[in-house]
Amino acid sequence: MNKEMSFRWAILPLVSMIAVMFFAIIKLEQGPHMPLIVGTSVAAFVAWKHGFKWNEIEEMMYRGIRLALPAVIIIMLVGLVIGSWMGGGIVATMIYYGLQIISPAWFLVTILLICSIVSLAIGSSWSTMATIGVAGMGIGLSMGIPAPMIAGAVISGAYFGDKMSPLSDTTNLAAGLTGTNLFDHIKHMIYTTVPAYLISIIGFWIMGRKFAGTDMNTSEIQMMLGTIGDEFVISPWLLVVPLLIIVMVAMKVPAIPALLLGVVLGFLSHIVIQGGEMADAVGALQSGYSIVSGNEMVDALFNNGGIDNMMYTVSMTIIAMTFGGILEYSGMLNSIIQQILRFAKSTGSIIAATIASCFATNASCSEQYISIVVPARMFATAYKERGLHSKNLSRCLEDGGTLTSVFIPWNTCGVFIASTLGVTAYEYAPYALLNFIVPIISIIYGYIGFTIVKLTDKEIEEAKQSDLRLEQEAAMQ
């Protein structure tokens, strides 16, 4: 099915998509779905122009979608987990205890740690920044700490949790699109993320030392604690649920059974511990948990979860994979990647090229999801041909895509942070330590070969058999 295609034609759908994406997000303030559909349409036209029949183009789209189905299933499960854990008071318990460890002498480090815990629990950097981050900005400013410095600590913590959480949509997206086991993907990210996290803690400790003797206004935190205590039954026993899931991950239990157990335990906690009605517990699974507490920050944090709230990501993933499917199976993607690989002769250079492509996609398409989707399809074959395990690619996608999105002022992440925390990307960029240290470490690892996992002979053979089966299925249809 794959045919030779000139770079000039191959790049046309990508350029068209980027141009429309830039206009739609920056000028019209709309999402990435329509630009992706435009890109898919242009890609289909280019494929048709080069002799592909419509039924072949359709099959390319279906093959692209099939690659994303494991990620789609887990993303929907994540919506169930978040809804059940919100309603079950599990997230509330983690946040309640976390907020009580704030210390004036360690404010920047503490707000970093709290944002990390909350983001790990809910899998969302945006929700964390919009709630705990906003509260932290108010407290830090009352202590005389510069706003960009506080924002840097909030962003670093929020994105650490988002990146390392099995509930994060970007984490599931990167793993799913590369065919990497979710928990293998997370464990592989530890090598780049944890060292950067420790460096960030040291950095914020050094920055915060001169503010150690300042008095702190804790009224906002106390208001949030009071509201959470009024709305939920807080119990250390609820912490057993996330701990159990962590143990299952450590025991290499597959993602779907582990997440399903989390859903069941959260559902039971909603009914038995929180005293909720079964109808409300079921509703939290479908459309997300709903709370009206009178505290805007608490409501914004806990009105979350459910399958319905994951459909934005699911639909975007499916549309993006129809686009990627045509690019890949028509030969367009191969033509583009060959131009890039002319300059990427070593493992280090291909990893650097992947991270640079993720950053460039963040800048050109203004959307962190696309910075994962497009490079995932661009580099998948190149990594396989060089005998590199898919978890190297999935890690690079997060190191270069998820984390660098905050540095682009016109990216949706940069715009959200500026409007939520009141600090522009130009101001907080030097203090978002984790977000720029991780990509640097990732590139260094690529050149020195540290934690770069090669495919075994057995895995290479299995990959060849899988590709052969896909070719046979396509030929039969």
CA 332 distance to own-chain centroid: 27
CA dihedral sign of residues 417, 420, 424, 428: negative
Residue range of the domain that includes 305? 68-316+331-477
Is residue 295 a part of any domain in this protein? yes
Please tell me the distance from the alpha carbon of residue 83 to that of residue 184, in angstroms, as a whole number.
Answer: 25
Is residue 96 a part of any domain in this protein? yes
Please tell me the distance from the alpha carbon of residue 90 to that of residue 26, in angstroms, as a whole number.
Answer: 37
At 388 the three-state DSSP class reads strand
Please tell me the distance from the alpha carbon of residue 298 to that of residue 231, in angstroms, as a whole number.
Answer: 10
Alpha-carbon distances of 139 from 132, 158, 174, 300, 329, rounded to whole Å: 11, 17, 35, 19, 53
Name the one residue in this structure whose structure tokens are 């702190």.
216
- The DSSP code sequence of 399-452 is IIIITGGGG-TTSHHHHHHHHHHS--HHHHGGG-HHHHHHHHHHHHHHHHTTT-
- Residue 71 has a pLDDT of 67
What are the φ and ψ backbone dihedral angles of 123, each rounded to 5 degrees? 70, 20
Q: Are 81 and 266 in contact (CB under 8 A)?
A: yes
At 305, list the tokens. 């979860």
- Residue 321 clears pLDDT 80, i.e. is over it: no
Is residue 20 a part of any domain in this protein? no
Lowest mean pLDDT among 59-63, 110-114, 154-158, 410-414: 410-414
Q: How many residues does the chain have?
A: 477
Is residue 2 a part of any domain in this protein? no
Is residue 170 a part of any domain in this protein? yes
Name the one residue in this structure whose structure tokens are 């072949």.
56
Q: Are 411 and 405 in contact (CB under 8 A)?
A: yes
Single-letter amino acid, residue 293: S
H or E stretch covering 353 = helix 347-365
Q: Are 312 and 306 in contact (CB under 8 A)?
A: no
Total structural domains in the chain?
1
- Residue 395 has a pLDDT of 95
Burial of 341 (0-12, 13-18, 19+ CB in 10 A): middle
Lowest mean pLDDT among 85-94, 153-162, 295-304, 446-455: 295-304
Is residue 29 a part of any domain in this protein? no
Is residue 26 a part of any domain in this protein? no
- Using CA atoms in the order 233, 235, 240, 245, what is the torsion angle rounded to 10 degrees? 40
- Residue 2 clears pLDDT 60, i.e. is over it: no
- Residue 202 has a pLDDT of 95
**This prediction's pTM:** 0.69
396 vs 319, more confident:
396
Residues 344-357 have pLDDT tens digits of: 778 898 999 899 88
- Residue 397 clears pLDDT 90, i.e. is over it: yes
Q: What angle do CA 88, 398, 164 make, to 5 degrees?
A: 30
Mean pLDDT over residues 376-405, rounded?
89
Is residue 324 a part of any domain in this protein? no
**Beta partners for 37?**
none
- Residue 476 clears pLDDT 60, i.e. is over it: no
- Residue 472 clears pLDDT 60, i.e. is over it: no
What contacts 107, CB < 8 A, 6 or more positions away?
139, 140, 143, 145, 208, 211, 216
31: closest CA among 396, 367, 453?
A: 367
Please tell me the distance from the alpha carbon of residue 356 to that of residue 14, in angstroms, as a whole number.
Answer: 16
Residues 179-221 have pLDDT tens digits of: 888 889 999 999 999 999 999 999 999 998 887 666 655 676 7
